[in-house]
Structure 1
Amino acid sequence: MEKEILWLRPDEKPFEINGFAWFDKEKIYRRLPENPQYKIPEAVDYLADNTSGGVIRFRTDSDVLMIKVKIKEVSGMPHMPASGQSGFDCYIGKSTKEVYCSTAIPDINSKEYERKFFQFEKKEFRDISLYFPLYMGVEDVLVGIEKNSKVAKPSQFKEKGRIVAYGTSITQGGCASRPAMGYTNILSRWLGIEFINLGFSGSGKGEPELAHLITMISKVRCIILDYQANTDYQRYITTLPEFVKILRNRFKDIPIIIISRTPVSIWAFDKKAKTQWEKGYKFQDKFVKEMNKQGDRLIFSYNGSVLFKEIWQESTVDGGHPTDLGFLTMAKALYPILKRKLRV
């Protein structure tokens, strides 16, 4: 027997929207302000509509959960499935105890879809987390529950505050098979803390305007910078000191973790290509050590090609962008680092 479904707007209480730093003010599913006070590149402005890192959180006693989504474009990335680009993931459980349930997978040639996450026999309150698409804008989304069910505010994150991650297409989540498998989303679950994902595919290049926008975000406990892969050597050594300076002027006593680019498969055969990227890491490491000598003991440098070297040859879709296995590798490497720096 089909259940009668009540459709609710998740941008209204008691639902909670996490992962969008300006959502409480602007009420749109976007990663940067709609009209930023700092001029940003056109590509970054476009990618800010991609909803990577967004999560709908709530509790409900409904034995049925559905979703109705209107996305901004049809899915069509050649190296990333529509489930990761444009789908929604459903996890059940309290903070740090979430368990994967199912994925709402869109139709390839449509901007709208409606899917059922679950239909259980038992009616009981469950904590729900619905992860937004990684590489798609969301025009509208509705959550469907059984008509006579209740919705309540979600359980709190285990940890207060936010971690901001600024970087590349990999930071944004390319090319996870489903939204919750981007490394920032994995770490959010493991650490029990909200993440703000500011990865911009091919476009996060250390612009000072983006640093200024990050300084507007509240409740920041840690910042991760991993944008080297979007730059060449000259741009990296030019932008990194200024970017960090802007952040440190605002955030005096939080960890800033700088990670050089993740390894790529061609490095096994082209040592010259690897050497070019290693130059950037050596500059980064020297810069951080100089900051440490000047008294900033909360800035840290990590070599991405070392940090994520484990099984990297077997965990990308194209030699550079991680699969779910690659993102899991990244999360496992970063988890103990973040636990130490956050003292959790």
Structure 2
Amino acid sequence: MAEQTTQSNRVDAQKLDPNMKLEQTGELGLKWLSPKERPFRLSGFPWFHQDGVYRRMPVQPKHELPPAVNQLANSTAGGQIAFRTDSPRLAIRVELTGKANMYHMPATGQCGFDIYLGEPGDQQYFGTTRYDHTQLSYEVVLYEFPNTELRHVTLNFPLYQGVKEVSIGIAAGSRIEEPLPYRTGKKVIVYGTSITQGGCATRPGMAYTNILSRRIPLEFVNLGFSGNGRGEPEVARVLTEIEDPALLVLDYEANAVGVELMKRTLPEFIRIYREAHPGVPILVVSKIQYARERFEPALLRLRLDMKKVEMDTVEMYRSQGDANIHFFDGTALLGTDSYNECTVDGVHPTDLGFLRMADTLTPVLQELLHRELT
């Protein structure tokens, strides 16, 4: 009797709510295309032309990467597919390298794609892949319209898993065209932590680098490495290989562990990068406030001490004549009030937290990139 009661009380919202049912594609008669080929544009994978895989670091780097960074580079955070099509129906077929496996981040953010429609400057969210998160592959209809019309499409890659293969399905007889070009061919490179990578956004488009990419018409390269963005010199040397940088953002304080590590890594990271790119603006961003700081004074002191190291390092370079290095106080990134309501675990932002971060950083980046945007 007790077992029957338990069964009757069990809730399965996907069966009870039609809005939560998984997509069933069936036989759609679509033509499947690879985004690796023109006229599709792939962004966020600087070494794709060399290695041909969806990866954020080179497969065989000239400088040996820390093992964890090398593995995390297979997460496709920040990757994007852009194109235009007049197909009334659009679908996606995805083969993942791993399943969703986190307790505090939805499968849609870890392993899903989301879609934005509209030209740069007017990209509007349309939907997210609804798939069985227990599977390693899925096929989902992204949209189905009654009319044929040329639409500008941007798809954001998963944030916390890798993608072996992805294909785009369009109706037979429909056409694919190149997306509208970026303002320039230069890139904004953002190096940092799990927060940079997008943990714990509910869907890829809500990672703060992806939000910024919709506001600033340049390619963004997300080099956030969960728990492992620690400012290693080997990583700095690999970053110097990325061609046509417009700006380097360093947002790795949260992984630097302590003051001594930050003192040792930050000046050297900047030195290595500056030798290769003497005129590229560099923005050092200190970390967000953690919720526990209100109750643990030692945690607050650590953040303030780390921030001072970053400020002092930037000031040292500026005093030596480097006017293209800047500091931004991350204390304000989540807002000055109710900031502790913007995370999923006291550390990693929710979508609201990421939106606040992007809102705060947008004018900062626009000012540093004014030459590229005018």
TM-score scaled by length of structure 1: 0.98
2 CA distance for matches of 1:159 and 1:312?
35
Q: Return the match for 2:166 from 127, 136, 141.
A: 141
Question: Where in structure 2 are the equivalents of 1:168-207 lying within 5 Å?
Answer: 168-207=193-232
1 CA distance for matches of 2:332 and 2:89?
45
Match of 1:330 in 2: 357
Q: Which runs of 5+ in 1 are unaligned?
A: none
2 CA distance for matches of 1:147 and 1:272?
62
SS of match in other structure, 1:337: helix
1 CA distance for matches of 2:133 and 2:205?
20
Deviation at 1:14, TM superposition (A): 1.1
Deviation at 1:330, TM superposition (A): 0.3
Question: Where in structure 2 are the equivalents of 1:45-56 lying within 5 Å?
Answer: 45-56=70-81
Q: Return the match for 2:315 from 279, 283, 289.
A: 289
Match of 2:285 in 1: 259
Equivalent residues of 1:86, 1:106 under 8 A apart = no
Pair 1:268 & 2:294 matched = yes
Equivalent residues of 2:259, 2:309 under 8 A apart = no
Equivalent residues of 1:205, 1:227 under 8 A apart = yes
Work out which of the two has the higher radius of gyration on C-alpha atoms and give 1 or 2.
Answer: 2
Match of 1:242 in 2: 268
Pair 1:87 & 2:121 matched = no
Q: Deviations over 1:153-186 (max 9, x none)?
A: 1111235411000000000000000001000000
Deviation at 1:105, TM superposition (A): 3.0
1 CA distance for matches of 2:34 and 2:350?
32
Match of 1:72 in 2: 97
SS of match in other structure, 1:333: helix
Deviation at 1:255, TM superposition (A): 1.1
- Whichever residue aligns with residue 350 of structure 2, its letter is T
SS of match in other structure, 2:53: coil
1 CA distance for matches of 2:28 and 2:151?
18
Equivalent residues of 1:82, 1:105 under 8 A apart = no
Question: Where in structure 2 are the equivalents of 1:105-116 lying within 5 Å?
Answer: 105-116=130-141
2 CA distance for matches of 1:106 and 1:156?
31
Q: Deviations over 1:296-330 (max 9, x none)?
A: 11111122123433432111000010000000000
Greater than 6 Å deviation, 4+ residue runs: none
Question: Where in structure 2 are the equivalents of 1:22-37 lying within 5 Å?
Answer: 22-37=47-62
Name whichever of 157-166 and 57-66 sits farther off.
157-166
The percentage of counterpart residues that share the same residue type is: 42
2 CA distance for matches of 1:22 and 1:105?
30
CA-atom RMSD, angstroms? 1.3
Pair 1:10 & 2:22 matched = no
Match of 2:329 in 1: 303
Aligned residues, how many? 344
2 CA distance for matches of 1:153 and 1:242?
40
Q: Return the match for 1:317 from 344, 355, 358.
A: 344
- Whichever residue aligns with residue 270 of structure 1, its letter is E
- Whichever residue aligns with residue 309 of structure 1, its letter is G
2 CA distance for matches of 1:4 and 1:309?
49
- Whichever residue aligns with residue 325 of structure 1, its letter is L
Match of 1:225 in 2: 250
SS of match in other structure, 1:280: helix
Aligned pair in 2 of structure 1 residues 152, 83: CA closer, same or farther (>3 Å)? same
Equivalent residues of 2:114, 2:203 under 8 A apart = yes
Deviation at 1:253, TM superposition (A): 1.1
Deviation at 1:148, TM superposition (A): 1.0
2 CA distance for matches of 1:8 and 1:253?
40
- Whichever residue aligns with residue 67 of structure 2, its letter is E
- Whichever residue aligns with residue 224 of structure 1, its letter is V
- Whichever residue aligns with residue 240 of structure 1, its letter is L
Equivalent residues of 1:133, 1:179 under 8 A apart = yes
Pair 1:99 & 2:124 matched = yes
Equivalent residues of 1:75, 1:108 under 8 A apart = yes
Pair 1:341 & 2:341 matched = no
Pair 1:131 & 2:140 matched = no
Deviation at 1:254, TM superposition (A): 1.7
1 CA distance for matches of 2:88 and 2:182?
24
SS of match in other structure, 1:56: strand
Aligned pair in 2 of structure 1 residues 68, 208: CA closer, same or farther (>3 Å)? same
